[in-house]
Copies of this chain bind each other. A is one copy, B any other.
Amino acid sequence: MITQKTKYALKSLMTLGALEKGAALTIEEVSQRSGAPKRFLEHILLDLRKAGYLGARRGRAGGYFLIREPSKVSLGELLQQIDGPIAPLPCLSRRSYRRCEDCDDEETCQLRRVFGEIFWSYLLLIESLTLQDLLRDPVAAGKALGEPGAARNAAPDEIAGE
């Protein structure tokens, strides 16, 4: 599950990304449009500003605005900034690598090997997706791809019943 915080953050970025260039919204306005509680959103937008995604102006006519090109912001990067390390095992994270205390030998650890493969393929995918993909008009996108979206919008029809 992605956290509420992540959800709010992505929705906020989408809201701000949909604006005309140069426009800004106050926390209050972002809160209304994204559905996030205002005081909670404060923290989130502040984080996003510190992470370099948003700019802020104070005082009258102030607010937050997107300062990075949506097509240049990968989803992987975003998820890491918002939620912290996303590796399934600490020993698979580069930035925040930690040894597994209970692990004798990383080279032969089967868990590490298998989850490493999973993680690798996951990373590859989310790095290839961007904020732009979240902003895309779904109808237009569907047309461009011959409408595969509808068929894949739901979870796979229950390989294992999740």
Report A68-85 CB contacts with B as 1/0, cut-off 8 Å: 000000111100100001
C-alpha spacing A80/B1, complex, angstroms: 12
Residue of B nearest to A10 (CB): B111
Task: Give the copy number.
Answer: 2
C-alpha spacing A126/B124, complex, angstroms: 15
Q: Is residue A144 contacting chain B, with contact meaning CB distance below 8 A?
A: no
Q: How far is the CB of A13 from chain B (nearest CB, A)?
A: 11
Q: A116-B154, A129-B114, A156-B123 are in contact. Are A88 and B162 (CB under 8 A)?
A: no
Report A110-124 CB contacts with B as 1/0, cut-off 8 Å: 111111111111111
Among A103-162, those with CB < 8 Å from B are 107-108, 110-127, 129, 133-136, 138, 149, 152-162
Stretch from A38-46, A59-67, A89-97 at the B interface: A89-97
Q: Is residue A56 contacting chain B, with contact meaning CB distance below 8 A?
A: no
Number of interface residues of A (CB under 8 A): 61
Q: Is residue A20 contacting chain B, with contact meaning CB distance below 8 A?
A: no
Q: A123-B155, A160-B127, A162-B76 are in contact. Are A110 and B95 (CB under 8 A)?
A: no
Q: How far is the CB of A2 from chain B (nearest CB, A)?
A: 5
C-alpha spacing A108/B77, complex, angstroms: 24
Q: Is residue A24 contacting chain B, with contact meaning CB distance below 8 A?
A: no
Q: Is residue A7 contacting chain B, with contact meaning CB distance below 8 A?
A: yes
